[in-house]
Structure 1
């Protein structure tokens, strides 16, 4: 009986101390982001080739490496936390990592064998983070943190365990998987994709990451580019490609279940699962009542076809062709047929940052706390 009593007291004390630990004010000192082009703030520009204007011009006055006319959802997350916009890990010029780093890369998949456009899949992004963390801590250790680089540019070693780790990835796995297979085959591949996602989180947890903000994947079947690619595929009531959205819904279901399991397994982690799918689908299904143009139209017209090569120029029969963008991007949901405009990104961000689409409800500023039941 004494042993049972002691064990019970230990459980109560551990639970109480864990609650005390997470009920403090968050004040995240840094954000480390992993993902694809939906949250890439310049990695693909640094690694492969510049994302040219008119991308980014509406807000930054230049492309800024983003596939949009302005800010992305990750930018609004940084603003919400009163932190600077994230510097891409792959961008060595003018890099500033005091408040985090962005490992997201346009075209990235979760699976290494996903057939995606980027070699920087989620596993590689995590390896890059591990390298970044190891080198940072090593430099601090060798110099006692007294070099200008340590004082002004690099992350502080103690901040790694206090930072918010954000994820926005999976759209390419679902879209490319559907392109190369049937709906049933796509769904059959999802457990492997979720397994890779889980592995990435577990590695980061072992490295001391504790606070995870995880976006599910959006309704890829509603992307204008996808609608043009699958003209004869069944549509839902709003005109989106139904089988592809079914794949996204199944991915999100399994992801949510896995996060629920991880909450039990990773004792000191705090997870916030964010239903971005619902926000984006609502935006598309209610576009006209919200004051937007046709949700399946898009602003930036590529030189080689609508939505293709936004901002690029090509020579065709000796004639230089330019891409153009609409006069009022703010009235569009889709920027280039794949990515959202800044206005649409802001609309989605406003609905996820307050925690109303999280499981359980948890605003970004409180993502270090256990949500109230």
Structure 2
């Protein structure tokens, strides 16, 4: 019997790493911190720190109670932080014993990219949108840089909870925002063609802030999610009912609007690469990743893909009261409670996803197959 030599075995091993699994074979980036901007898809507590605690049932799957996240458990940004060896990101506005040494989260539930016109609070869906939009989140970041370094330089017990100055240039900057701008246009009865015409200016304001991060703070690594299949969300299908649906029951018109947004964003990202030559910019196709769950829900163990897990009433289990709240319905007090097994649902509360869906999506993103260039978060930094 012939045995392979040690050198032959090593060659085979290296071949498998570099050819069959090129993403895993490369040397991982070392990000000292993560700075996140966005809406409810990545908010780890900014909204609740501003407007009040999460309702009952939120956070039940992983945190055993409300955690400031609009989900039953972890979000994509949580899985990303863990994969990079970082703590879960603390929201900037949460001041109680907060550790910012490895980054900060500026995202807020119901945040828009541009200045919102339909502003919280409203008593019934769609409720309105958050005044702490993307521009305000950036202003908070500017303040965070100045104040965190002042505290760190002063020394004392709090200094170790602040990021090192180098983290602002070497950190990973993540973005997930845009769906609420589209929803706001739809809820204010703006014609879809007019919403589409407004998108270049909206995206331009987004990229202007990103350039500011690059030029003023030395940021170099950007991870940008496009917007998801909004036409599959229970709250959209409930508030804007339509017979014009695709093969899986999602609104064709709303998803077409989302894809137009993504096309404009992709063009802007391509332009940014030429304008910011030292930047490493990864464009992430969240839309396709999430839509794959609706196309083949049974392959991922999901049931009733268009229904919210936590809600009450209607074809999509979304209405009034919303998840965790109580209202009088037909003369009786009723509370909107979760489904028996959230791991079998894609959507949590009509607006955002379950931990089960978020975990599957992060695992997809980690392969690099939904990114341009095909990076995992671990390989998103610039290669020299």
Change (3 A) 1:168 1:307: farther
Who is 1:215 aligned against? Answer: 225
Deviation at 1:204, TM superposition (A): 1.0
Who is 2:194 aligned against? Answer: 185
Who is 1:126 aligned against? Answer: 138
Count of residue pairs the alignment pairs up:
345
Matched, 1:98 2:101: yes
Who is 2:14 aligned against? Answer: none
TM-score (norm 1): 0.88
Who is 1:337 aligned against? Answer: 350
RMSD over aligned Cα, in angstroms?
2.0
Who is 2:129 aligned against? Answer: 117
Who is 2:318 aligned against? Answer: 306
Who is 1:239 aligned against? Answer: 249
TM-score (norm 2): 0.85
How far, CA to CA, are the matches of 1:229 and 1:318 in structure 2?
23
Deviation at 1:178, TM superposition (A): 2.4
Who is 1:172 aligned against? Answer: 180
Who is 1:205 aligned against? Answer: 214
Who is 1:365 aligned against? Answer: 378
Unmatched runs of 5 consecutive residues or more in structure 1: 1-22
How far, CA to CA, are the matches of 1:80 and 1:119 in structure 2?
32
Deviation at 1:101, TM superposition (A): 0.5
Matched, 1:161 2:172: no
Matched, 1:77 2:89: no
Who is 1:44 aligned against? Answer: 47
Change (3 A) 1:360 1:57: same
More off after superposition, 288-297 vs 167-176? 288-297
Matched, 1:289 2:292: no
Matched, 1:253 2:263: yes
Change (3 A) 1:245 1:293: same
Deviation at 1:290, TM superposition (A): 2.8
How far, CA to CA, are the matches of 1:32 and 1:354 in structure 2?
22
More off after superposition, 308-317 vs 224-233? 308-317
How far, CA to CA, are the matches of 1:111 and 1:28 in structure 2?
29
How far, CA to CA, are the matches of 1:275 and 1:317 in structure 2?
43
Deviation at 1:82, TM superposition (A): 1.2
How far, CA to CA, are the matches of 1:267 and 1:130 in structure 2?
23
Who is 2:60 aligned against? Answer: 57
Deviation at 1:240, TM superposition (A): 0.9
- Which of 337, 340, 350 aligns to 2:363? It is 350
Unmatched runs of 5 consecutive residues or more in structure 2: 1-25, 119-127
Deviation at 1:155, TM superposition (A): 1.0
Q: Give 3-state SS (helix, strand or coil) of 1:221's partner.
A: helix
Q: Give 3-state SS (helix, strand or coil) of 2:298's partner.
A: coil
Change (3 A) 1:76 1:25: closer
Who is 1:17 aligned against? Answer: none
For the Cα contact (< 8 Å) 2:279–2:382, is it kept in 1?
no
Deviation at 1:302, TM superposition (A): 4.6
Matched, 1:276 2:286: yes
Change (3 A) 1:211 1:307: farther
Q: Give 3-state SS (helix, strand or coil) of 2:166's partner.
A: helix
Deviation at 1:114, TM superposition (A): 5.0
Deviation at 1:235, TM superposition (A): 1.2
More off after superposition, 205-214 vs 224-233? 224-233
More off after superposition, 167-176 vs 224-233? 224-233
Q: Give 3-state SS (helix, strand or coil) of 2:297's partner.
A: coil
How far, CA to CA, are the matches of 2:149 and 2:299 in structure 1?
52
How far, CA to CA, are the matches of 2:303 and 2:330 in structure 1?
34
What do the CA deviations read for 1:242-261 (whole angstroms, capped 9, x no partner)? 11111111111111111111
Deviation at 1:294, TM superposition (A): 1.6
How far, CA to CA, are the matches of 1:290 and 1:368 in structure 2?
31
What do the CA deviations read for 1:186-230 (whole angstroms, capped 9, x no partner)? 111111110111111011112211110000000100111211222
How far, CA to CA, are the matches of 1:86 and 1:328 in structure 2?
27
Deviation at 1:307, TM superposition (A): 5.0
How far, CA to CA, are the matches of 1:262 and 1:250 in structure 2?
18
Who is 1:135 aligned against? Answer: 147
